[in-house]
């Protein structure tokens, strides 16, 4: 490589930000704080900053299902909502949910798993979230669907519920 080509490459790297100091974070991002990395108040502020930005924002890319993380694209699946329903159903089948069982869903988000499991598999669900906006939204969805007698959504910094015989725990990846 010639000296001229090396210089052009270096200029391009600098222009694209590949060399030099990293850019400053946007002003809307949370700043790093001193002190303990995790505390109830600090974690609560972080969760609120990330999730309590308005449910309309999340609906833009999560679709009407408001299911977070991923979808399961089976043959013939054409929409995000179909892929989310397929994912929820896949998880419920993997958990071998049956009527009368209890499901504890830590990180329940907007309640999609809780609603799906109660409606399609006849289970009773306790969902726990750290986001107040998610909990409020999930409460409304549960009431609208008529499942208030089988689904309880809690806002909490920690979960003290226990699982016993006939109970399952859905991991946070299912929210």
pLDDT in tens, the chain (175 residues): 899 988 888 888 888 877 777 767 666 665 666 667 667 777 777 777 777 888 888 888 888 888 877 888 888 878 888 889 999 999 999 999 999 999 999 889 999 999 999 999 999 999 998 888 999 999 999 999 999 999 999 987 543 444 556 665 554 534 3
The pLDDT, as a whole number, for residue 16 is 80
| DSSP characters over 116-165 | HHHHHH--EEEEEES-HHHHHHHHHHHHHHT-TTTEEEEE-SS------T
What is the model's pTM? Answer: 0.70
Give residue for tokens 């519920």. 161
In what side-by-side order are the strands of the sheet with 151-155? 151-155, 124-129, 102-106, 167-170
The pLDDT, as a whole number, for residue 174 is 41
């Amino acid at each position: 490589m010639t000296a001229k080509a090396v210089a052009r490459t270096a200029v391009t790297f600098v222009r694209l930000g590949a060399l030099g100091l990293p850019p400053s974070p946007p002003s809307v991002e949370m700043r790093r704080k001193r002190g303990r990395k995790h505390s109830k108040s600090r974690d609560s502020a972080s969760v609120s900053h990330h999730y309590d930005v308005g449910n309309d924002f999340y609906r833009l890319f999560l679709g009407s299902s408001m299911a977070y993380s991923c979808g399961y694209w089976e043959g013939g699946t054409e929409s995000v909502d179909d892929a989310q329903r397929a994912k929820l159903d896949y998880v419920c089948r993997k958990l071998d949910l049956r009527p009368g069982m209890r499901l504890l869903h830590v990180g329940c988000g907007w309640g999609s798993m809780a609603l799906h499991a109660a409606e399609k598999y006849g289970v009773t669900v306790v969902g726990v979230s750290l986001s107040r906006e998610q909990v409020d939204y999930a409460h409304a969805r549960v009431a609208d669907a008529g499942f208030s007698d089988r689904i309880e959504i809690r806002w909490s910094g920690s979960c003290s519920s226990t699982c016993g015989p006939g109970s399952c725990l859905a991991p946070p990846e299912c929210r």
